């Protein structure tokens, strides 16, 4: 899918893109505007709103990133976190270099990665603490995006002005610096790489890559990388059962964004260590028009967050139950009394149904902890007391 973003928005240069809650946010530059605007498009490529880009860069924001809570935009001096109506909620000073053109967010570890074309790639925490630089592997980087569960453990994708069309995608292992070539995106003369994003919200069946083409084209291209398994989920997705005990397992299916006539297949594997061997349960979902639930019988999904836990106080294990709106993404995390992240418990696309997380405190010491649930502009926190 290609969107004539420059023509739709009037931007002379389109820079960044990020997708959240059925909205595509576009940053860029236009000399005709006193204020640099952030454009919001719907899935039909129609402009539905504009926001004023924060910061004082005369060129507007560069690359954009979404960390499950705010939209983050790179710029001069600082990069800024905004809510869905453009209000600045946080800002972080740029490390080492004055302007960062590329930004990506690793939500699970609450880390950003920033870079300016040929600079090294710098990890930085939400508190502004700078980590060890990752040496630039000789690439001109103008867009970055983070992909969880990359099959090669190269989670940081780089949109570079390399290759025959200056629109090459590579990916980086942030632990060892290993770089792998992914592909060259076809481009027209006068076009080159801009910002980029990766999401599984655009199409729940696939990881989707969003690429900004800067220059003569000023367009946005959206295409699928590969399939995800988000159409089916297990809670818990792994575990063990002691002899004489039982473990309840919930299997949930999600047919949203799927087409009638599609057949999806997966396998649920049970490893029988006591007796040896494995049992394999074949799981198939067939999208059948005749089985679409009538509106009168539909389950009404919550519009606000719901978060409970028990037992509380707890000795070692606690069950956390949370309900989410149908659309958007969420993050459930555990923090200590000082506000330090202990563990990310859940992070992904909202299902609109009840979710259960069973947490084992393990080696954690007795004390007060907080479990925090965030989805869009909503946020809930609950106090947990661990007694050992």
Give the model confidence (pLDDT) of 220-250 as tens digits: 999 888 766 666 666 676 677 776 666 667 6
End residue of a domain, out of 227, 262, 282:
227
Residue 325 domain-assigned? Answer: yes
Residue 6 is given by DSSP the state H
Which residues are 252's β-sheet partners?
A: 233
How confident is the model over 303-355, as pLDDT tens digits? 567 788 878 888 888 988 887 765 678 889 999 888 889 999 988 776 656 67
> Do both 242 and 346 map to the same domain?
no
> Do both 200 and 97 map to the same domain?
yes
- Burial pattern 142-152, b for ≥16 Cβ within 10 A else e, equals bbbbbbeebee
> Do both 320 and 349 map to the same domain?
yes
pLDDT higher than threshold 80 for residue 199: yes
To the nearest whole percent, how much of the chain has pLDDT over 90?
28
Q: What is the pLDDT of residue 246?
A: 63
Q: What is the pLDDT of residue 193?
A: 93
> Do both 76 and 147 map to the same domain?
yes
Residue 296 domain-assigned? Answer: no
Mean per-residue pLDDT, 19-32 = 82
257 or 293, higher pLDDT = 257
Residue 299 domain-assigned? Answer: no
> Do both 62 and 36 map to the same domain?
yes
What is the CATH number for 35? Answer: 2.120.10.30
CB-based contacts of 195, cutoff 8 Å, min separation 6: 15, 16, 17, 27, 62, 63, 64, 102, 142, 143, 159, 212
Q: What is the pLDDT of residue 300?
A: 42
**The domain containing residue 339 runs over which residues?**
306-386
pTM of the model: 0.63
Q: What is the pLDDT of residue 17?
A: 92
> Do both 45 and 117 map to the same domain?
yes
Residue 346 domain-assigned? Answer: yes
User: How far is the C-alpha of 43 from the C-alpha of 28, rounded, in Å?
Assistant: 19
Q: What is the largest CA-CA distance in the chain?
A: 73
Region for residue 176 given its phi and psi (left: phi exceeds 0; alpha: psi -120 to 50; beta: otherwise): alpha
Q: Are 86 and 52 in contact (CB under 8 A)?
A: yes
> Do both 27 and 123 map to the same domain?
yes
Q: Are 75 and 55 in contact (CB under 8 A)?
A: yes
Q: Are 145 and 104 in contact (CB under 8 A)?
A: yes
pLDDT higher than threshold 60 for residue 291: no
Q: What is the pLDDT of residue 144?
A: 95
Q: Tell which residue, 63, 30, 23, has the closest CA to residue 47.
A: 23
> Do both 121 and 185 map to the same domain?
yes
Task: List C-alpha distances in Å: 38 to 114, 210, 257, 337.
Answer: 20, 16, 27, 37
What does residue 253 show for φ and ψ, rounded to 5 degrees?
-115, 145
């Amino acid at each position: 899918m290609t969107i004539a973003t420059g023509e739709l928005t009037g931007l002379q240069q389109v820079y960044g893109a990020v997708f959240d809650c059925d909205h595509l946010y576009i940053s860029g530059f236009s000399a005709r505007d006193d204020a640099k605007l952030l454009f919001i498009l719907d899935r039909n490529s129609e402009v539905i709103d504009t926001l004023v880009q924060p910061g004082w860069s005369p060129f507007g924001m560069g690359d954009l990133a979404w960390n499950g809570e705010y939209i983050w935009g790179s710029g001069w001096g600082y990069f800024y976190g905004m809510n869905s109506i453009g209000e600045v909620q946080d800002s972080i000073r740029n490390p080492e270099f004055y302007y960062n053109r590329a930004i990506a967010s690793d939500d699970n570890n609450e880390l950003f990665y920033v870079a300016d074309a040929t600079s090294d790639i710098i990890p930085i925490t939400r508190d502004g603490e700078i980590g060890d630089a990752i040496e630039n592997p000789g690439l001109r980087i103008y867009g970055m995006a983070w992909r969880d569960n990359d099959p090669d453990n190269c989670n940081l994708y780089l949109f570079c002005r390399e290759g025959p069309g200056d629109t090459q995608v590579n990916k980086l292992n942030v632990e060892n610096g290993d770089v792998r070539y992914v592909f060259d995106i076809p481009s027209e003369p006068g076009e080159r790489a801009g910002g980029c994003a990766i999401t599984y919200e655009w199409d729940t069946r696939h990881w989707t890559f969003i690429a900004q083409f800067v220059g003569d084209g000023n367009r946005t291209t959206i295409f699928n990388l590969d399939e995800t398994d988000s159409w089916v989920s297990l809670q818990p997705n792994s575990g063990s059962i002691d002899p004489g005990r039982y473990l309840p397992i919930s299997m949930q299916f999600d047919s949203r964004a799927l087409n009638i006539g599609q057949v999806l297949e997966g396998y649920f594997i049970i490893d029988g260590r006591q007796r040896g061997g494995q049992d394999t349960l074949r799981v198939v979902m067939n999208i059948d028009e005749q089985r679409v639930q009538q509106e009168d019988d539909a389950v009404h999904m919550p519009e606000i967050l719901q978060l409970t836990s028990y037992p509380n106080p707890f000795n070692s294990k606690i069950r956390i139950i949370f309900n989410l709106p149908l659309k958007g993404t969420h993050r459930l995390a555990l923090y200590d009394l000082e506000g330090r992240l202990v563990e990310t418990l859940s992070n992904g696309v909202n299902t609109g149904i009840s979710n259960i997380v069973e947490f084992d405190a393990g080696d954690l010491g007795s004390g007060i902890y907080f479990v925090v649930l965030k989805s869009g502009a909503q946020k809930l926190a609950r106090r947990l007391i661990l007694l050992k």
